[in-house]
Chain A
Amino acid sequence: MNGLANASSLFFLSAGLSLIFGVTRIVNMAHGSLYMLGAYIAYTCATSLGGVLGFWGGVLATAAALALLGALIEIALLRRIYHAAELFQLLATFALVLLLSDVVAALWGVEDLLGPRAPGLRGSVEILGRQFPEYDLFLLVVGPVVLVGLHLLLTRTRWGTLVRAATQDRDMVAALGVDQAKLFTAVFALGAALAGLGGALETPRQPANLGMDLSALGDAFVVVVVGGMGSIPGAYVAALLIAEIKAICIGLGTQTIAGIPFNFSKLTLVAEFIVMAVVLIARPYGLLGRAQGMPRHAAAIQDPIEPAGRRARLLALAVLAALLCVPLLAKASPYTLVLGIDVLIAVLFAASLHFIAGPGGMHSFGHAAYFGLGCYGAGLLLKLAGFPMAGAIAAAPLVAALGAAIFGWFAVRLSGVYLAMLTLAFAQIVWAIVFQWEALTGGSNGVLGIWPTAPFNSAWVYYLLVLALTLAGVLAMRRILFSPFGYAMRAGRDSPLRAEATGIAVLKVHWIAFIIAGTVCGLAGALFAFAKGGISPETIHVSRSIDGLVMVLLGGMHELAGPLVGAPVFTLLQDSVMRQTPYWRGVLGVVILALVLVFPMGIAGTIAGWAKRVAR
């Protein structure tokens, strides 16, 4: 019963996400943020006005305010990126997540805020001998009501017919004289209003808090993917399924299976992602979803990558020489070495992500998972298995490789937004396991005391070790890209069917590439663990995956040198901004937006473009 009440909010949230995706083909990463904003606005209405008007009026006002905000976002941002690559759309909306998160923190503060109970529904009724809150009963009913309302809107009105037609073929709808811009704005506003409604209705049950945006987004992703992208009834069925499974896990509590006590309530985080993985494998387009048509505007054709010329090689040697000189500065400012190590690890991390995202065309949104596996692999091997430092650093990438082999096997079977969501889900699983398996990983405290042993215990020696390993990793991946394997990888990206027809086992090639990237990423994680002396779940948070993507995009997705430029710029920028302002997330959000709107080719890409134009 509790699950049924939870399902309603989840359904509003996911229905909005699904609707927006169906029509605009954009996965709105900021959807959880709109939900969070809804909760905060409803809280303010309910507490400042109070009474029936404050609560119920507030719920409606929240939905209206979110609709307005949604329309504004659509007009100001999304309209400019409908024809951009998928990855840019995901990043642009993720920038909104960062921005809105800081806006909420600035306006409402960081405290959790529990709203008052709903006027008129404060009591509870007895059902089957159990007390059941009236408000939950109300939620239980309101979900199906909205489902039916949405269904009627979409099937019985001309507006709904136009929305469904636009979901299928936007250009054709335009050629019949329909103003898509207005249609898209309306759909986005409706989706945002639904998210706001979901958030508003949750305030009496759960406190509004700053972590709501990403957790709601994760939940909504799972529901939408399980139900089928763009299917409203699918979203309802999936919301019910997920909410029930969670409720059952909590209801079971600690049970003893085969003599071992097992706490099911800790399984909730993992359970939903396991459901999602199972559904995606059995029905890749969700329970009630259908295969998406290929996008009509295919991505622009990319120039083939070229081996470095003489000038580029000289430049690389000069940079290397400069990097070798960094330890000389250490006396004057020891912080330089710390920052240098951070930058090098970021380069290795970003380069491994670029390896699969650029030439592989697999836009992983969960690369932090392999970083985390390397990190925790090294830490735990050192602490629990008693490995020496060298052994831990050598073995940790293998842990990451194993994880990449398992996750990658599923991931390479999907593409586009489904791949992005699945990789994100896998990263969340790793995060949840690390966070909840306190006995092994120390939970939120992490693992401490992972320091390098002699001779690496002085910072400059460790810096040189990191430099050597980063160089080795980057060069090895570069070498692979110019081998027949690398050609097969790119062929598989550009035209899977034609590549298959010429005898390339595309899935296998991409799977191996995924494992290679995971291994290198694991190495970066292991080096990170020893550089920081300790690790915490923070290390593998979603934001690290996104940071990686921003680094790659900042440098330029289509340039081999992209991550080598993007990672240092990003790390230095983050380092300097973080020390200036508590609102660095917001600043980062603005940087990403600027990047997407102004420099879609990235830094290295833009410079390469200029160089080509000059050469002509």
Chain B
Amino acid sequence: MMLEADKLCAWYGAAQILFDVSFDVGRSEVVALMGRNGAGKSTTLKAIMGLVGRRAGGVRFDGTELLRLETFQIARLGLGWVPEDRRIFTDLSVRENLDVGRRPANGGPAWSEERVFELFPNLAEMRERPGGRMSGGEQQMLTVARTLMGNPRMVLFDEPSEGVAPLVVERMAEAIVEMKQLGLSVLLSEQNLHFAALVSDRVYILEKGHISWSGAMRELEASAQVQRQFLGV
């Protein structure tokens, strides 16, 4: 197993958001975390990265327990995080943004500036542009590229299809497929069933901080009843 969460709990201040969430992601597997707004999808990813106030339970990444580590140590183990609000450094140019993400290869495939520009040709044309003067879609691509520069072995992907143009969504799907082919594991938080179905092998559904359903992507696609019960609005 690449990532194993064992009864993971997380709090923001006094409010508990995650309750005994357990799941796992295998090597070069793409797993989707689905669920409605506020179910705890983003919080799960942040809890793995050590970005919530308090955590309990356990998360192991490639055998290493993450709960006692600081965020930068977790990242250095080879975990990349693509936040939903992108969090581009707006004062820095595209190049500089990539430079912040750069880390030596750590058993995973080695990415270079040139290779991420191959994956996202748009970015190659705006190397010196400040992050603040890019469109939402361009920022989304830069966020993914910045994460890949860290040569992660696994990527936590938060809502890549939200709020960007269909063309960018397509690029995101391609990027995930390419990562999988390179042997990376991906944990994807997603509300869009169509997008998730395109790239994921398995699904966990979160509801109010609990895992309420899990299974193969095919099963979820086949069951209108499960979709209605857990994902319908």
Contacts and interface: CB of A to CB of B under 8 A. Distances in A.
Interface stretch (A174-182, A370-378, A468-476): A174-182
A174 B13 contact: no
A175 B45 CA distance: 11
Contacts of B70: 174
B76 interface: yes
B92 A164 contact: yes
B177 interface: no
A171 B101 CA distance: 13
A300 interface: yes
A174 B101 CA distance: 10
Question: Which secondary structure dominates chain A's binding surface?
Answer: helix
Contacts of B49: 175
Nearest to A170: B71
Contacts of A158: 99, 102
Interface string B77-104: 0000101000101111000110111110
Contacts of B89: 164-165, 168-169, 172
A174 B146 CA distance: 13
Nearest to A171: B51
A583 B100 CA distance: 47
Interface-centre pick from A164, A174, A175 (highest chain B CB count, 10 A): A175
B47 to A, nearest CB: 12
Contacts of A178: 72, 100
A600 to B, nearest CB: 15
B150 interface: yes
Interface string A178-199: 1110000000000000000000
For chain A, give the interface size range. 20 to 34
Given A168-B90, A168-B91, A175 B75 contact: yes
A169 B83 CA distance: 12
A169 B51 CA distance: 13
Interface string A45-73: 00000000000000000000000000000
A179 B73 CA distance: 8
A402 interface: no
- Residue among A172, A177, A178 facing the most chain B CB atoms (10 A cut-off): A177
Given A165-B100, A175-B51, A300 B72 contact: no
A497 to B, nearest CB: 19
A164 B91 contact: yes
A161 B72 contact: no
B100 A173 contact: yes
Contact of B75 (A161, A167, A174): A174
Interface string B108-145: 00000000000000000000000000000000000000
A162 interface: yes
B23 to A, nearest CB: 20
A171 B100 contact: no
Nearest to B83: A172
A161 B99 contact: yes
Interface string A139-168: 000000000000000000010011011011
Given A161-B100, A168-B90, A172-B87, A177 B76 contact: yes
A306 B99 CA distance: 52
B90 A174 contact: no
A291 interface: no
Contact of B72 (A164, A179, A301): A179
A173 B102 CA distance: 11
A176 B75 contact: yes
A176 B92 contact: no
A90 B18 CA distance: 35
A116 B8 CA distance: 65
B13 A300 contact: yes
A158 B149 CA distance: 14
Nearest to B53: A297
B99 A177 contact: no
Given A172-B87, A179-B72, A161 B13 contact: no
A161 B87 contact: no
A300 B11 CA distance: 13
B150 A177 contact: yes
B72 A180 contact: yes
Contacts of A180: 72
Contact of A176 (B14, B51, B100): B100
A19 to B, nearest CB: 15
A172 B71 CA distance: 9
A300 B13 CA distance: 7
Contacts of A172: 83, 87, 89
Given A164-B89, A168-B90, A168-B91, A177 B103 contact: yes
Contacts of A165: 89, 92, 96-97, 100
Interface in B172-227: none
Contacts of A179: 72
Contacts of B103: 176-177
Contacts of B14: 301
B145 to A, nearest CB: 12
Contacts of B71: 171, 174-175
A161 B51 contact: no
A169 B102 CA distance: 17
Contacts of A164: 89, 91-92, 96
B165 to A, nearest CB: 24
Nearest to A290: B91
Given A174-B75, A175-B49, A161 B150 contact: no
A175 B87 CA distance: 11
Nearest to A301: B13
A616 to B, nearest CB: 14
Interface string A551-593: 0000000000000000000000000000000000000000000
Contact of A177 (B72, B87, B90, B96): B72
A180 B90 CA distance: 19
A180 B96 CA distance: 17
Contact of B101 (A169, A176, A300, A301): A176
Contacts of A175: 49, 51, 71-72, 75, 81, 83
Contacts of A169: 87, 89
Highest count of chain A CB atoms <10 Å: which of B14, B83, B101: B101
Given A164-B91, A165-B97, A175-B81, 16 more contacts: A161-B100, A165-B89, A168-B91, A168-B92, A169-B89, A172-B87, A174-B75, A175-B49, A175-B75, A176-B75, A177-B72, A177-B150, A178-B100, A179-B72, A180-B72, A301-B14
28 contacts: A158-B102, A161-B92, A164-B89, A164-B91, A164-B92, A164-B96, A165-B89, A165-B97, A168-B89, A168-B90, A168-B91, A168-B92, A169-B87, A169-B89, A171-B51, A171-B71, A172-B87, A173-B100, A174-B72, A174-B75, A175-B49, A175-B51, A176-B75, A176-B101, A178-B72, A180-B72, A301-B13, A301-B14
Please provide the 5 A-B residue pairs with the shortest distance between their CB atoms, ordered closest to farther.
A177-B75, A174-B71, A172-B87, A165-B100, A177-B76
